[in-house]
Amino acid sequence: MREILEILSRDGHATIERIATMTGLPEDVVTERISAWESDGVIRRYKAVVDWDRFDQSAHGESDEVITAFIDVSLDPARGVGFDDVAARISRFPEVRSVYLVSGSQDLRCTVIGSSLREVSDFVSRKLATLDRVRATATHFVLKTYKRDGDAFLEPEADHRLPVMP
């Protein structure tokens, strides 16, 4: 059954018929599993993976630039809740795209977007760093995306092989 989820995570447009063919399962079983996973919250939503840099280059000045930053956050844990309450509070900010509890010298890693470096900086200094139990933050701005959500954003290499005629 995991195979159905793997197919959908790679292609949210995959049809029931195509998934059934790929997995060898009957279409009604595939439909039933997907419906149950949607109801149970296993499947959260379907989305497109967008190459924003390519969009910005092709928009001819019509696009709004998006700045992405990874922000590492060090916290003081609270008895009984650990980091969960602060992570939930951070996740409610509209600028925040993801929040992870991580191992290492920091406790949380957040992905944040803004329309400028200043906007991300203001978010960190005015909203994030002022939260109770936040000890420190470290901000890392994304300069270029090579791969995201399993999709490579690199141009394919040119095929330099000689053509072969039958």
Task: Write out pLDDT tens, residues 31-81.
Answer: 999 999 999 999 988 887 777 777 766 665 555 678 999 999 999 988 888
Question: Would residue 45 count as lying in a domain?
Answer: no
- What does the pLDDT read at residue 150? 79
Contact status, residue 99 vs residue 89, Cβ threshold 8 Å = no
Picking from 135, 128, 131, the residue whose alpha carbon sits closest to that of residue 114 is 128
Residue 99 lies in a domain: yes
Domain count, the chain: 2
The span from the CA of 155 to the CA of 144, in Å, is 13
Task: Tell me, yes or no, whether 53 lies in a domain.
Answer: no
Structural domain range at position 6: 2-40
Give CA separation, 35 vs 7, 9, 32, 40, 153, in Å: 15, 15, 5, 9, 32
Predicted local confidence at residue 42, as pLDDT = 93
- Residue 67 and residue 31 share a domain: no
Asked whether residue 142 falls in the same domain as residue 82, the answer is yes
Whether residue 28 is found in the same domain as residue 63? no
47 lies in some domain? no
What local confidence, expressed as pLDDT, does residue 57 receive? Answer: 66
Residue pointed to by tokens 């292609």: 11
Per-residue model confidence (pLDDT) at position 82: 87
Report if residue 104 sits inside a domain: yes
Mind listing the pLDDT tens digit for each residue in 87-137? 999 999 999 999 999 999 999 999 999 999 999 999 999 999 999 999 999
